[in-house]
Structure 1
């Protein structure tokens, strides 16, 4: 017991010391001046990076995608998430606690479940304005049923839920299911949503295709339960495509292989459009490039991956 307490003390002390080394409060006046100059340069660099998040080489897109590509930008909703993430990363004691818990439980518990338990690691895919722009709808648009597959803690679901009478969600992590139930969404089992006996007007499948065992089967099943004329799928996928399954504290390859050719973002988007989606019975109605953001920790304000977000209509 004493050894364990000593280990915790040393662990926390080392993290605090490392954090102090990079905090301007502990730097000498001249060094602090240089530090703030670096911060200004870093802020300008961050603005440049944010600009690049949304940029696409349209000339490398296939002819169809060139006509349906929607240019997105850093808007107020996305900026609010970034500001909130930066604020949380400064909560040193909270971040120390999160780091300690993650270290202890990560060997046998999935990162998603740990984050759900701690209430951290919120994800951001698109803002409400970007959602309206993608579906080409106005703020007062209403429909019947939304199904959000792999909804996480429901943060992104909440952006869409306002426009639907009924909201169905699925999630594997038990702690995330608890969050979804608290928000009063109807939680369906991972093998239940396709057997409810209803047609969904919109199905959102956000960054799930590369984290499920049967990606092509998932696409085909979504088409089977989608409203056949006006129904739409909003599908986000991180590129480059790198599928793996989170199982406990381990990462495993999916049972069903989905090969995606191409090296650049544009090349892989083209392959999805011309090979993957037609095989599943879909055509691309709209496409945009968005950052897939996640709340950070005591070392990074946030983490970012590059998403291709499609609006698919059934053929």
Structure 2
């Protein structure tokens, strides 16, 4: 307990000092301050890959506000991440803490992407690698049945809390029915067999009206996150150049 209390006091003092230095309007102190706060988690999370932005980018104006409650929460998240990262993946830690969501598109942007109106509805959605389900929630009003896949147990827990039906890694291809929309957002660079995944998507997509919503993190780098947080190269190579 003494060690934790000392660590919290040191972190609080460091952020307070950096914030005071901010008033000097020095580019160096501003850079140090932003690096410090991003290390504590204020830079935001992500869907599938928290450290990189999605392909679909939307400009947003956000104000960083530091309050005692916010600061304590972020310090707690930082402490938990440091401890659990020894045996859990970053995705699972984010699922446990209820963070790690990434903005991909708004409801209006989703409708414009598919050229549909707000009342449009079809039968089935499959969201592959759905994370915590926040992007799934944007799409869900347009579907009667919503299915999702996810490998992280804590993210599965988040999906089940939202009442989505979670299918297993080798289950969604063998349900016996097809999907009107399949989303694969920032997943191809995180899976072990991207070529097989694309073939399986085609096999279960409605052949005439079905659509695939695909997003990639660029520049494209393939790495597979293991359950213990370590990264490996995928067994299949997806060649993307330029």
Work out the CA distance in 1 between the residues paired with 2:121 and 2:137.
15
Which of 220, 226, 230 lines up with 2:199 in the alignment?
A: 220
Work out the CA distance in 2 between the residues paired with 1:120 and 1:17.
25
Work out the CA distance in 2 between the residues paired with 1:180 and 1:199.
21
Which of 4, 8, 13 lines up with 2:4 in the alignment?
A: 8
What is the aligned partner in structure 1 of residue 87 from structure 2? 108
What is the aligned partner in structure 1 of residue 174 from structure 2? 195
Please identify which structure carries the higher helix content. 1
Q: By how many angstroms is 1:10 displaced?
A: 3.0
What is the aligned partner in structure 1 of residue 131 from structure 2? 152
What is the aligned partner in structure 2 of residue 182 from structure 1? 161
Which of 167, 171, 177 lines up with 2:150 in the alignment?
A: 171
Q: By how many angstroms is 1:87 displaced?
A: 5.3
Work out the CA distance in 2 between the residues paired with 1:255 and 1:216.
10
Structure with larger Rg = 1
**Pair 1:123-2:102 in alignment:** yes
Q: By how many angstroms is 1:183 displaced?
A: 0.8
Work out the CA distance in 2 between the residues paired with 1:252 and 1:183.
31
What is the aligned partner in structure 1 of residue 111 from structure 2? 132
* 1:88/1:139 CA distance change after superposition, 3 Å: farther
Please identify which structure carries the higher strand content. 1
Contact 2:120 2:142 in 1 (8 A): yes
**Pair 1:260-2:234 in alignment:** no
Q: By how many angstroms is 1:17 displaced?
A: 1.7
Contact 1:203 1:226 in 2 (8 A): yes
Work out the CA distance in 1 between the residues paired with 2:225 and 2:170.
18
By relative contact order (CA 8 Å, sep 6+), the higher-ranking structure is 1
What is the aligned partner in structure 1 of residue 210 from structure 2? 231
Q: How many pairs were matched up?
A: 213
**Pair 1:250-2:230 in alignment:** yes
Where does structure 1 differ by over 6 angstroms across 4 or more consecutive aligned residues? none
* 1:89/1:243 CA distance change after superposition, 3 Å: farther
- TM-score, structure 1 as length reference: 0.63
CA offsets per residue over residues 37-72 of structure 1, 9 Å max, x none?
x99xxxxxxxxxxxxxxxxxxxxxxxxxxxxxxx97
Contact 2:57 2:104 in 1 (8 A): no
RMSD, aligned α-carbons: 2.3
Q: By how many angstroms is 1:147 displaced?
A: 0.2
Unmatched 5+ stretches in structure 1: 40-70, 263-315
Contact 2:124 2:147 in 1 (8 A): yes
Work out the CA distance in 2 between the residues paired with 1:126 and 1:88.
27
Q: By how many angstroms is 1:34 displaced?
A: 4.6
Work out the CA distance in 1 between the residues paired with 2:229 and 2:167.
24
